[in-house]
Chains A and B, each alone.
Chain A
Amino acid sequence: MHELSVTESILNIVLKHAKAGNVQKVMGVNLRIGVLSDLENEWVQRYFDYLSKGTVAEGAVLKIERIPATMRCENCGQITTFNLQELEKDWKCLACNGESLTLVSGREYFIKNIEVM
């Protein structure tokens, strides 16, 4: 359900840049979304199609790159990727076996660029 609010924000940012660049038509929007987000690709696209009707972004295709959950070892600084469905396993730094880890990616909510004509 929060897809609607998020999609509205995406559209506003896209339209702002399209206007500034005198764009005739937005063909694609490239997003980077962390795996921790529950955003559903299909719903974001449907909401975008609905909200963008009559704008230069009507018909644009959203392409979502999913960013994995990675954690930094507080001991040695090594960054390791983890599978969120494997919370049963021991999560340790691959380099030094350190167990003091801090989340560094996986919560991204980012517009990378737009493809325009």
Chain B
Amino acid sequence: MPEIKLIEIREEILADNKVLAEEIRDLLHKKRTFMLNIMSSPGSGKTSLILQTIRKMKGAFKIGVIEGDIDSTVDAEKVLREGVTAIQLKTGGFCHLDASMLQKALKELDLSNLDLIIIENVGNLVCPAEFDTGSIKNAMILSIPEGDDKPLKYPLMFTVCDVLIVNKTDYLEGSDFDMQALENRVLKLNPAIKIFKLSCKTGVGVNTWTDWLEGEVAISNYT
């Protein structure tokens, strides 16, 4: 009977993705382009936020959008109508974007001619949290109708994001959404996270968000 022996491996499972993600960040730094990865559940307002952000910022910044979708081009078409560059990435059933997909998409964009790239990740709060896309910052959207308990169900997503956008604040009135409870839960998981509360529908709070984003883009463009 042959003996069973142990081979020590000690490797990160997603090391290959991390290496590619770092390559992407190096490239972005060289090109002085800021890349933001937006993640959320389906229907929480990723496309609406991107459209609002484009409308506020396209006068001063050159913007490109990478749309991740399982198998449709609906969102990319909306973005193109705003007159900015958009790339559609169909994941073919995959529930997330990873660095290798982003590397392909970025080859289609003229980075030297872009200040800001926004990634619209595939809509779900689980899988995209595990895969570094090579973005400079990660943002997630949570909308009021989804409820204030999401940090309990999807803690990883709240720990990997630099920014939380609470969207659809126009639904707050008459709902049982507890904003204080949400903030307490989120800040326990991630004390450094920045929280913006806004409504893409009414426009309330959108300027505070774009002010912050403009600041981040400016830092990337000039350093």
Residues of A within 8 A of B (CB): 1-2, 5-6, 9-10, 12-14, 17-18, 21, 23-24, 27, 31, 36-38, 69, 82, 84-85, 87-88, 91, 100-103, 106-107, 109-117
Q: Is B67 an interface residue (CB 8 A)?
A: no
B189 x A6 contact (CB < 8 A):
no
- Contacts known (A2-B130, A101-B191); A13 close to B9, Cβ less than 8 A: yes
A-side interface mostly? mixed
Instruction: Answer whether A9 and B14 are a contact pair too, CB < 8 Å, given A36-B155, A87-B184.
Output: yes
Instruction: Report whether B7 and A114 are in contact in the complex, using a CB–CB cutoff of 8 Å.
Output: yes
Interchain CB contact (< 8 A) of A111 among B6, B9, B98, B191: B9
A-B contact pairs, 26 of them (CB 8 A): A1-B126, A1-B127, A2-B94, A2-B96, A2-B126, A5-B131, A6-B13, A9-B17, A14-B9, A18-B7, A84-B152, A84-B189, A88-B181, A101-B188, A101-B191, A107-B159, A109-B12, A110-B10, A111-B9, A111-B10, A112-B8, A112-B10, A113-B7, A113-B8, A113-B9, A114-B6
Q: Given A110-B10, A113-B6, verify A9-B16 contact (CB < 8 Å).
A: yes
Query: Is A103 in contact with B159, judged by CB distance below 8 angstroms?
Result: yes
User: Which size class do B's interface residues fall under?
Assistant: 35 or more
Report the Cα distance A16→B207, complex, angstroms.
Answer: 51
Contacts of B4 in A (CB 8 A): 27, 115-117
CA gap between A1 and B6 in the complex, in Å = 30
Please give me the 9 A-B residue pairs with the lowest Cβ-Cβ distance, nearest first.
A2-B127, A1-B95, A87-B185, A36-B156, A109-B13, A111-B9, A117-B2, A91-B188, A113-B8
Q: A2-B127, A6-B14 are in contact. Are A112 and B156 (CB under 8 A)?
A: no
B12 A110 Cβ-Cβ under 8 A: yes
Chain A nearest Cβ from B93, distance in angstroms:
8
Name the A residues within 8 Å of B95 (CB-CB): 1-2
